[in-house]
Amino acid sequence: MHSTGLTRRQVFLATLGSVASTASTSKARTPSGGPIVVTADRFLTYGNLRVPCVVGYKGITSEKREGDGATPAGRFPLRQLMYRADRLAHVETALPTSKLGREDAWCDDPKRKEYNTLVRLPFTGHRELLWREDHLYDVLIVLGYNDSPVVPGRGSAIFLHVASPRLAITNGCIAITMAALLEVARDCDTRTVVDVAVT
């Protein structure tokens, strides 16, 4: 994977872009221009939208480590949206968009060179499956956390995704309702950033 001479960041983006065909974005609206703001009181604000959100079960931290159950603090760009085409016809967005497949997973093994990147099954390293029986990853947006460059052990698979019906806490991702996530997706592109505040 890394024998091409490309940087890890270039390989990461190229891999994401080749997951599947791009979804329709013809109805995507002009991005609001402001950041998506996530605060410690567990609200997400974007433009005129303000909704409850959930974060990691250990809260928000500026010292993120793999498996610590916390959401990383900081400012992160949006890389790409992925969705389940068997459950949604399309998602309106100006983000690069890919359809999830049964073989898609995310490497969360700090010992592997693929750490914090999209991988395909079969994969022998530790990974998180993106094809789920529940609806949490029916739509997910990959956040640009620890990917430029990737630092082993600093955390992986940080997404903005669909919350559980009871807004259960996550292992480090940010989650909101499907309706809110689709509204955010319509109004953002790769220039949009997420600001996650510790306090």
Q: How high is the pLDDT of residue 187?
A: 95
pLDDT at position 199, please? 74
Q: Which two three-digit tokens encode residue 133?
A: 């029986």
The pLDDT score that the predictor gives to residue 7 is: 40
SS3 content of the chain, % helix, strand, coil (to 5): 10, 30, 60
Mean pLDDT, each 10-residue run in order, the chain (199 residues):
39 39 43 85 96 98 98 98 97 98 98 98 98 98 98 98 97 98 97 94
Give me the pLDDT at residue 29, please. Answer: 53
Structure confidence at residue 79 (pLDDT)? 98
